[in-house]
Amino acid sequence: MSKQDKRHIALIPAAGVGARMAAGSPKQYLPIAGKPMLRYAVEAFQRSELIAHTYVVVSAEDAYIGGVLPAGEPGVTVLRCGGATRMESILNGLRAARAQIGDDDLVLVHDAARPGLTPGLIRKLIEEAGGEPAGGLLALPVVDTVKSTRGGGVATTPREGLWLAQTPQMFPYALLERALGAAADPSAITDDASAIEALGLSPKLVEGHPRNFKVTLPSDIGIAEMYLKQDPA
């Protein structure tokens, strides 16, 4: 199968509760600039001509998704099979959509709490890592001085070669499903690339953009709104 024959499928795990936001609803449904956060991620994939379909994984009891992604949303399927961890939600979603995704199709897993994703960043990831057997991910090189307290004191850690992982993270369906299924400790898999790395493989890092940061704390909402007012990258 050639690079051109592979389809690109988006998968957004959205079953988390966002406890650090201390909000009345799960983080992915909080409004940013008048729109639920999850919709920004979904719409970035909808606007990309490279994405064949988008799957959104939510918990079985999710009471909000119908108001954010109504039935019949173009190019989107909601899967009510979210798990207790992010990794479990992704694995459940992959298996639920198995009949619609080929082994060599490339799955782009993206955090629902990264509203700054753009079609341009999606294209960049696909163009630069779409031919990599081990897949690839968006990431940012570390530019600040890094300090460590692991030894009990404070020490400077060289920043050369250090990157901050972003999403989407893109891998062939069969490889991603195998890597996640082989993970002994779901809580130890903090991103999909770490599961791939556990197999002895090295995904390609593709430089992303600061606007694609993860909204984690209430103060992050204002930063996200600032980026969303700018022209997309």
Residues 6+ apart with CB under 8 A from 21: 27, 30, 215, 216, 217, 218
Average pLDDT, rounded, for the chain: 92
> 1-15, 65-79, 162-176: lowest mean pLDDT where?
1-15
Question: At 147, is the secondary structure helix, strand, or coil?
Answer: strand
Report whether pLDDT(4) > 80. Answer: no
pLDDT digit string, tens, across residues 168-191: 999 999 999 999 999 888 777 889
Give mean pLDDT, residues 157-173.
Answer: 97
| Sign of the four-CA dihedral 164, 161, 168, 14 | negative
Domains in the chain: boundaries = 8-217
Give the pLDDT confidence score for residue 232 in this predicted structure. Answer: 73
Whole-structure pTM value: 0.93
pLDDT of 20: 47
pLDDT at residue 22 is higher than 70? no
pLDDT category at 233 given cuts 50, 70, 90 is low
Mean pLDDT value of segment 86-104: 96
Q: Do the beta carbons of residue 107 and residue 219 sit within 8 Å?
A: no
Residue 87 CB coordination number (10 Å): 24
Q: Is it true that domain 8-217 has CATH number 1.10.10.60?
A: no
**What percent of the chain lies above the pLDDT cut of 70?**
94
Range in 186-190, 197-201, 203-207, 221-225 the model is least confident about: 186-190
Does 92 score more than 60 pLDDT?
yes
| Cα–Cα nearest to 164, from 111, 214, 107, 222 | 214
Above 90 in pLDDT, residue 66? yes
